[in-house]
C-alpha cells in the first residue's frame, strides 16, 4: 500500500464548477498535510496546508481533513482554465519525519 494515494485522473470539470480532489494516507499518526499545484514543466507550488480536522479556506480553495478516515481533500470553487494542473497531496508524520507525496491528480478545467 502506498503511503499517500491519489487518483491520477484526469479530472475534467467545466469552467465555474467545483473541482474536488481527494487523497488518502496510510499512517494514522500523520500530523501535517499539504496540497501543491504543479503546472507542466514547472516545480510544485504550495497552495494549502492543514493540520487539524475540519475545513480550512483560502480564497477559492478549501482543504478538508478527516483524520479518523485518513482522508484529505481539496475543493476548488469557481474553477478556471488556469487551474488546470497536477495537484499533489503531501503528508508529514511529525517534525522529524520526511514529507511524502502522492502521485498527483491531473485537473483539466474546460472553458
Partner 1 sequence: GAGVSQSPRYKVTKRGQDVALRCDPISGHVSLYWYRQALGQGPEFLTYFNYEAQQDKSGLPNDRFSAERPEGSISTLTIQRTEQRDSAMYRCASSPLDSEAFFGQGTRLTVV
| Nearer CB in complex with partner 1: 41/111 | 41
**Farthest CA pair distance, the chain:** 43
Residue 21's CB is within 10 A of a number of other CB atoms, namely: 22
CB of 92 to partner 1, least distance (A): 9
User: Is the bond leading into 10 cis (omega within 30 degrees of zero)?
Assistant: yes
Pick between residue 8 and residue 80 the one whose CB is nearest to partner 1.
8
CB of residue 44 to partner 1, shortest distance in Å: 5
Contacts of 57 (CB under 8 A, 6+ apart): none
Closer to partner 1 by CB, 52 or 111: give it: 52
Cα separation of 107 and 9, whole Å?
A: 7
Q: In the complex with partner 1, which residue's Cβ is closer, 32 or 70? A: 32
Nearest-angstrom CA–CA distance, 81 and 27: 34
Q: How far is the CB of 106 from partner 1 (least distance, A)?
A: 8
Least separation, in Å, of the C-beta of 6 and partner 1? 8
Task: List residues binding partner 1 (CB under 8 A).
Answer: 4, 6, 32, 34, 43-46, 49, 88, 90, 95-104
Amino acid at each position: 500500500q502506498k503511503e499517500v494515494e491519489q487518483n491520477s485522473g484526469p479530472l475534467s470539470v467545466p469552467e465555474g464548477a467545483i473541482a474536488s480532489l481527494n487523497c488518502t494516507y496510510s499512517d494514522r499518526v500523520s500530523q501535517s498535510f499539504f496540497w501543491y499545484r504543479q503546472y507542466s514543466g514547472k516545480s510544485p507550488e504550495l497552495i494549502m496546508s492543514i493540520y487539524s480536522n475540519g475545513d480550512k479556506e483560502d480564497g477559492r480553495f478549501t482543504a478538508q481533513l478527516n483524520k479518523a478516515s485518513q482522508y484529505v481533500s481539496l475543493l476548488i470553487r469557481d474553477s478556471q482554465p488556469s487551474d488546470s494542473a497536477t495537484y499533489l497531496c503531501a503528508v508529514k508524520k511529525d517534525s522529524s519525519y520526511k514529507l511524502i507525496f502522492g502521485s498527483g491528480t491531473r485537473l483539466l478545467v474546460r472553458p
